[in-house]
Structure 1
Amino acid sequence: MPQVGPSQVTCVSSPCRHGFPQAFGFHPTKGPKLIDEWEGQSGVREMTDWLRNDVNGDKRKGYERANEMQKQIRSELVAEDYDKLVSRMGEYNAAKFVESGIAGIPSSQTYNVKCIHAHVADHLCRSSQSNNTNTSTEGNIIGEHALNILQNQRGVSTLGNDVCWQQCSLRHEQLPSDWNYVPKKNRQGLRSTRQRRKERREED
């Protein structure tokens, strides 16, 4: 579980089998920890194909509603810090950031699934089973479908396994043999960070 201050948490999902939240909404935002293997096996393409097979337009409308909710949440989060955002990103990029939808995708693009993690996290935090009371409880149609695939087709327990609590419990002193998860998307970033730190130490 990331170490963050209470002011950074914007919403909390329903709990796993051990009682810990399955996902948080952070400022900045972060996603859940369930889906790396599936994404590595063309999960994004699978979900995008499902999204585009939309005879009645219900999926597109659900995606649009999720994007609009993300825009609203993002606008509220940066309202007091917008000038800082502009100074850091520039006026054009800051405006694009605030106007973007799920996972930073343009809110008008409702035909691509950029990141399954983001949709699942959004659904977990905004569904009717969420512990959050400050946003819509409709959930996310793409995240809901992804969870159904994980549970019913891929046999994944989305409520956790017997030992995953070892990473989430702040009362547990982790041992080298404990269960630990590092998202695949972050591994290259972590390696790069370690390399930069090593280079700085050598320069000093």
Structure 2
Amino acid sequence: MQSRLRPWLALAVSALVHVGLALFLLGQASRVASNGGSAAAPGPAMMVRLVSATRPAALDSAPLAAAAAPAAAVPPRTEVAGGGGAETVEKHYFGASAMTQQPEAAEGLVAGKLLVVPGITPQTVALQVWISDEGTVERVALDSPMSKEEEQMLLAAFASVRFQPGRIGRIAVRGRLAMQIMLDDTLRM
């Protein structure tokens, strides 16, 4: 006789648990509807901690080893008008390893590698390029030695180069790209 009661007992306990759960949920729904709010608990949805944009004097006086490395160049800073004065805000540029699609030259470079600059000595140059999320060149740093005059001509000519921006997934991002380009004073066929 006991074996026949066990399934009925389990069914009764399960039914009581489900009825109790349903009553609890209906009670919660009626309280939320009477308050006109959502089911989320009251309180802050997000906590934000603000930090100062200025660096402490102790950090400014200490020499940084990373600043001496040639690959660790400082990205551009932009001035932001704030309440009391202007602050510098550093933009983040993704490196080549972080992007799923690398920036590609859209215009200004022949075959993505040759830049024609009238009056410059034909040579190959290594440089770092900071590219905006719209594909414009925001900064160029030369890694190859050059005369100041030729460097100015190169930087002026490189300002007209446009890129397809790098992407992470389907989102265009600001990127930093190390590249080697060939310089020539004329286009030779």
Q: TM-score range by the shorter chain?
A: under 0.3
Structure number having the greater helix percentage: 1
Please give the TM-score of this superposition, normalised by the length of structure 2. Answer: 0.25
Please give the TM-score of this superposition, normalised by the length of structure 1. Answer: 0.24
Higher relative contact order (CA 8 A, sep 6+): 1
Higher gyration radius (CA): 2
